[in-house]
Structure 1
Amino acid sequence: MSRYFFDFHALTLSIRDEEGTECANPRAVSSEAMRALCQIAGDRPDRYMGQTLNVVVRDADDHTVFTASLNLASAWFAEQEKSQAA
C-alpha cells in the first residue's frame, strides 16, 4: 500500500495533512477523499455554508494525484419560507 496525504482547503480554513493515510489503490484514495469532505462538511455545516470545500491528495513524492470538491449550499423555496415564518 502507498501513503497519501489529504490536504483540506476552504475559504476560511486550510489544513495540510502531515501524517498521511495508507491506501491500497486509486479507488481507495478517491473514497477516502470524498469521505473526508462529507465528514468535515457534516461536522460544521453552518461554518462552510456557501463555500466550496476541496481536498487535494498528494503522494509520498509530494505530487498532486487527485482532487475532490464539495459545494455546500441550501435554499428555501418562497412558499416554504412563508409557512416556516408563521
Structure 2
Amino acid sequence: MPRYYFDVSDGDRLSRDTIGTDCEDTASVCSITAQSLSEIGRDSLFRGSAQQSIMAIVRDEQNITVCTAMLSFSVLWFGSDIPAEEDDII
C-alpha cells in the first residue's frame, strides 16, 4: 500500500510529516487531507484566531507533491460597535 506524507503550513511555518500514512487509493488521500484541515481549522478557531489560512501539501514516497488543499477563514466586523479584542473572540 502506498505511503503518503501530509505536510501542513500556516504561511509562517511548515510542519513536515516524517512518518507518513498508508492509503489505499486517491480517495483516501483526499479524505485524510480534508479531515486534517478541518481539525486544524477548528483548533485555530478555539485559539481565537480571527483570520487564518492553512495549506496541506501531500507527498508520495518519491517526495513528489501529489495533492494540495487550502482552508481559509476570516471574521470581519461590520457593526457600529467597537469590535472585541482578538483575545476575546470565541
Q: TM-score, normalised by structure 1?
A: 0.80
Question: Using a 3 Å threshold, how does the CA distance of structure 1 residues 58 and 43 change in structure 2: closer, same or farther?
Answer: same
CA distance in 2, matches of 1:25, 1:67: 16
Q: TM-score, normalised by structure 2?
A: 0.77
CA distance in 2, matches of 1:48, 1:8: 17
- Give the counterpart letter for 2:56 in structure 1: V
Alignment correspondent of 1:37: 37
Query: Which stretches of structure 1, 4 residues or longer, exceed 4 Å deviation after superposition?
Result: none
2:44, 2:52 within 8 Å by CA — same for their partners in 1?
A: no
State how many pairs are aligned.
82
- Give the counterpart letter for 1:7 in structure 2: D
Question: Using a 3 Å threshold, how does the CA distance of structure 1 residues 47 and 8 change in structure 2: closer, same or farther?
Answer: farther
Name structure 1 gaps, 5 residues minimum. none
Establish whether residue 65 from structure 1 lines up as the match of residue 69 from structure 2: no
Superposition CA RMSD, Å: 2.2
- Kindly indicate which of the two structures has a greater share of residues assigned to helix: 1
